[in-house]
Structure 1
């Protein structure tokens, strides 16, 4: 990872998370957004877990060695966004406020967890606990 790379760690098997992460854009002057599938990167997942963060309960943004989790991650992404296109403008408008992000993020997390249950997908940390993992 270079100094200009910003890592976004998320669950690629969640369709909503994947679409969001594929569409969100940050300004070029800020750096390059690198998407990391938490299910396929045990070292990154271990770093996140060691900090007491549960990837099943929030995405993680790593920038300048600092980890931003859940509502803080989505808030920072909104501030860094390019605001090009309808989605990125809407993302900025919804999450530019830290208070609004803190209110909306739990709702999004609930919808994510419900979607995974409907699709029969296992949460990432359940994979580790069940022993069905590569970690």
Structure 2
């Protein structure tokens, strides 16, 4: 029996996002986590765009055909995460609560946007075809 493929779509050009996505682990019994760079064209990014979700404002977790966006994505990821290692324990502890995730996620997004602006990175801009807006 093959494991369910769980997709995590995020901005690989953001060092904070990239570090988070490289370190987070899910329980093996849940499935296999596949990391997708939102700056590269993919079927799941097209689906995200068709749903009107701005990837610049939130990561996406697709699991079991369901799309989780932003705070819901980080909350769902915490619930399926492994509890091994300090990072994964902390991730679970911080984001296991939907309410806490909803409060913390906008703060994290603010700092992500600030970091990208300081690094001179452009927005992904999946909802707009120009793709060169600065933060």
Asked if Structure 1 and Structure 2 have the same fold, meaning a TM-score greater than 0.5 normalized by the shorter chain, the answer is yes
- Structure 1's unaligned 5+ residue stretches are none
Distance 2:108 2:15 in 1: 13
Q: Which residue of 2 aligns with 1:47?
A: 47
Question: Between Structure 1 and Structure 2, how many residues are aligned?
Answer: 131
- Aligned residue for 2:61, secondary structure, equals strand
Distance 2:120 2:129 in 1: 17
Distance 1:131 1:68 in 2: 24
Residue 81 (str. 1) matches residue 81 (str. 2): yes
Distance 1:23 1:9 in 2: 14
Would the aligned equivalents of 1:3 and 1:64 in 2 still touch at CA under 8 Å? no
Distance 2:62 2:29 in 1: 17
Q: 107-116 vs 123-132, which deviates more?
A: 123-132
Following superposition of structure 1 onto structure 2, how do residues 55-134 of structure 1 map, counting pairs within 5 Å? 55-125=55-125, 128-130=128-130
Q: Which residue of 1 aligns with 2:19?
A: 19
Greater share of residues in helix: 1
- Structure 2's unaligned 5+ residue stretches are none
TM-score w.r.t. the length of structure 1 is: 0.91
- Aligned residue for 1:40, secondary structure, equals coil
- Aligned residue for 1:8, secondary structure, equals strand
Distance 1:96 1:127 in 2: 30
CA RMSD of aligned residues (A): 1.7
After superposition, give the CA deviation of every residue in 1:18-39 in whole Å (9 maximum; x if it has no partner): 0000000000000000000011
Distance 2:15 2:43 in 1: 23
Would the aligned equivalents of 1:5 and 1:63 in 2 still touch at CA under 8 Å? yes
Structure 1 runs of 4+ aligned residues shifted over 4 Å read none
Would the aligned equivalents of 1:9 and 1:35 in 2 still touch at CA under 8 Å? yes
